[in-house]
Structure 1
Amino acid sequence: MKADIHPDYHDVKVTCSCGNAFGTRSTYEKDELHVEVCSACHPFYTGQQKIMDTAGRVDKFKKRFGR
């Protein structure tokens, strides 16, 4: 490998908007990284789906196609 071409690889603390925090190693420049979604709050991992009802679209859909 060539010398001095690779980025610095160091410990980074990742904090989610849900409050979950964990440590990882990364080439990210700063020591802390803030994310909006993590495995503790993402619907794929939790099994709970959140439906955002914007202007009654979900009710309108259910009214049209629900039986």
Structure 2
Amino acid sequence: MPKPEIHPKWYPDAKVICNGEVVMTIGSTQPELNVDVWSGNHPFFTGTQKILDTEGRVDRFMKKYGMGSANSATSKEQKEKKDSKK
């Protein structure tokens, strides 16, 4: 049996507030939760996310693992060279 009076008070209808608006209600140990970002305004969920590739990391990854249409001819040539050395 759990010990009485050691658990925090539970609020089944706690309000999640973003930019002064109630965006959803959830269960929490606090009556109100103030957040800066939620799924309604986060770029990943709204589809406005942009991938910033300032150092060519994506291209380097694609080249390393032979993915992508732009590097597919180059990667095939590199694989053939590696296979001929074996």
1:39 is matched with 39
Alignment check: 8 A CA contact 2:16 2:34 kept: yes
Equivalences for residues 1-67 of structure 1 within 5 A: 1-10=2-11, 11-17=13-19, 19=21, 21-28=23-30, 31-49=31-49
Tell me the C-alpha RMSD between the 2 structures: 2.7
Instruction: Provide the aligned length of Structure 1 versus Structure 2.
Output: 53
- Give how far 1:44 is off: 1.8
Alignment check: 8 A CA contact 1:18 1:41 kept: no
**For each residue in 1:13-63, what CA deviation from the matched residue of structure 2 results, as whole angstroms up to 9, or x when unmatched?**
1111284611111012xx322210000011121121269xxxxxx8xx5xx
Higher-Rg member (1/2): 2
2:68 is matched with none
Query: Structure 2 regions of 5+ residues with no counterpart?
Result: 57-86
TM-score normalized with structure 2 length: 0.48
More relative contact order, 1 or 2 (CA 8 Å, 6+ apart):
1
2:59 is matched with none
TM-score normalized with structure 1 length: 0.59
Q: Which has the higher helix share?
A: 2
Percent of pairs with identical residues: 44
AA matched with 1:12: A
